[in-house]
Amino acid sequence: MSGDHTGTDAAIAAQVRHVEALLEERGLVDPKELDRAMEAFLAKANPDNGARLVARAWLDPAFHHRLLTDASTALTEIGLSMGGGLQEQRLKVVANTPTTHNVIVCTLCSCYPVALLGPSPTWYKSEAYRSRVVRDPRSVLAEFDFHLPPTTTITVWDANAETRFMVIPQRPKNTDNLDEHALANLVTRNGLIGVAPL
């Protein structure tokens, strides 16, 4: 919840601030350098990055396969990475099909591929989304005005400190004439999370 200073997220944030303070106090970290690194990371963190991945996957079946089997490596093919010194994090990409739909969540806190999707939306971090999407994903998607057929299987992927997830939405019909840039413009952050068709 926005502005909530209690609970797990607040406790973790307090621990991080404490460790930063200790490192600064011992002269191991320059606070200005930390700020510059964070600003540089966030400047590049944008949902356009994830949309570029999706558009390339729609156009290139071999890249699509590599993205599904080893996303962290495939990222580098188009000049992207998980960024921010987070190379130990693994990216797992899952693809929607006519019969299956994927949604991502982090039930413990709000782990999320910031470098590829930009800063996470407030609702993604909310306890309501984190708990309900696992139990009743179809109802949560309906709240986003996204209604799937009853025959569609919904899989919810739970991110954690080691693994982040991203969804490849289904390519819309009648887009064969579009280039990579135009296709990327169709993809939204919500589609990359799985709470929208695109």
* pLDDT at residue 169, rounded to an integer: 98
Tokens of 36: 């510059």
- Residue 195 vs residue 37, higher pLDDT: 195
Q: What is the amino acid identity at position 198?
A: L
Q: Cα separation of 124 and 137, whole Å? A: 13
Compute, in degrees rounded to 10, the torsion defined by CA atoms 53, 55, 60, 61.
Answer: 80
Instruction: Please report which residue ranges of the chain form alpha helices under DSSP H.
Output: 7-25, 31-44, 47-59, 61-69, 71-77, 114-117, 122-125, 127-135, 137-143, 180-184, 189-193
Q: What is the mean pLDDT of residues 176-183?
A: 97
Active site (catalytic) residues:
106, 109-111
Instruction: Give yes or no for a contact between 153 and 164, defined as CB atoms under 8 angstroms apart.
Output: no
Of the candidate CATH numbers 3.90.330.10, 3.40.50.720, 3.30.420.40, 2.40.50.140, the domain formed by 45-193 belongs to 3.90.330.10
User: Residue 39: is its pLDDT beyond 60?
Assistant: no
